[in-house]
Amino acid sequence: MKALVLAGGLGSRLRPFSHSMPKQLIPVANRPVLVHVMEDLRALGVTQVGLIVGDRGKEILAALGDGTGLGIELTYIRQHAPLGLAHCITIAQDFLGDDDFVMYLGDNMLTDGVADIARQFREDRPAAQVVVHKVPDPRAFGVAEIDENGRVVRLAEKPAEPRSDLAMTGVYFFTPAVHEAVAAIEPSARGELEITDALQWMVSHGAEVRARIYSGFWKDTGKVEDVLDCNRELLDRLAPSVLGDVDGASEVTGPVVLEEGARVIRSRITGPVIIGAGTVVEDSHIGPHTSIGRDCVLTAAEVEYSIMLDGATVRRVGGRLLRHAVPDRTVRGQDPGSSRRPGGRRDDGPPAERAGSQPVPP
């Protein structure tokens, strides 16, 4: 079985961060979302991966290379315009050939993996199999309606009145039968070849389309709060490992990963926290559910429930707590005597300089 991973989206809901990197490369627990996806695929025994990229394909290529470091073989496929998920299958036909494949959206996080669902597909081999998740409000998703045997009888894209609470997660298993369906459908009102239409075509023409329920943690990392939720989920599973240097005036409690070359000086680290290689934390408090990338500098800072990108700098923000944020590289400030309101906002004094910072309400 091969894999087709879709990583051509622009990430408009993640701006300003997606100005500086593709959204699929935003780090969760200090690894890009795409790396988590590739590791999930490798756990399925998949080694040949076609990667659909758009205008920022060069940045993804620079980050992932040919896939050797991830134990896979990557083939890059350019989509010149966002013409739909089913269109991605069309342009990947030379790569896919007559093989079964799993299609996986590159900004999806399914932290418990889909190995059991993949095994079911291999054993039963329906024409298509969609991975669904029960959600309280399905109106924002593609929705699958199934019968008592798990066969899909109807699909709807963002229905106003959903007839099911089973949202499609963005992971699909296909046999080559999907190619006929993709060739048969027309672009939707928004000018895209919709995968929902292709699946519905298969159902209407008597093909067996099954749904398998994924009950673990799932997020589409399209918004900052979703990225932070994923970060929290993975950090809660953290196995502590302190390979860097912690001086005698510092305190480290809870599950903490301190990578080799990182230094903690006169600071307090309260896990779960990851601190990347080459980072220096000085006179600071790093609170729970924070991941700090490589080669960062934090001086007189207080940070929790946040993600710091590689090379970020947080200097002397005084009494300000940086929380629920993914600062874009640099945070500076003064006024250590100013007061704080809940959530870290100051009641007085000049605002801290937060280039590209995106706070999220608790």
What is the rounded distance in angstroms from the CA atom of residue 292 to the CA atom of residue 154? 44
pLDDT digits (tens, 9 = 90+) for 134-156: 999 999 899 999 999 999 999 98
Question: Average pLDDT of the chain?
Answer: 87
My answer on whether omega of the bond before 32 falls inside 30° of 0, hence cis, is no
All structural domains of the chain with their residue ranges: 2-234, 238-355
pLDDT digits (tens, 9 = 90+) for 97-124: 999 999 999 999 999 999 999 999 999 9
* CB atoms inside a 10 Å sphere around CB 248: 5
Kindly tell me if the per-residue pLDDT of 362 is higher than 50.
no
So what's the architecture of 238-355 in CATH?
Answer: 3 Solenoid (2.160)
Tell me the CA distances in angstroms from 157 to 61, 127, 168, 185, one per residue in order: 32, 20, 10, 15
Contact (Cβ atoms closer than 8 angstroms) between residue 61 and residue 76: yes
User: What's the pTM?
Assistant: 0.86
Q: Pick the more confident residue, 349 or 219.
A: 219
2-234 matches 238-355 in fold: no
Contact (Cβ atoms closer than 8 angstroms) between residue 281 and residue 291: no
Which residues, 6+ apart, have CB-to-CB distance to 46 below 8 Å?
Answer: 1, 2, 3, 72, 102
Q: Burial level of 206, CB count in 10 A (0-12/13-18/19+)?
A: exposed
How far from chain centre, in Å, is Cα 177? 29
Kindly tell me if the per-residue pLDDT of 211 is higher than 90.
yes
Does the domain at residues 2-234 carry the CATH identifier 3.90.550.10?
yes
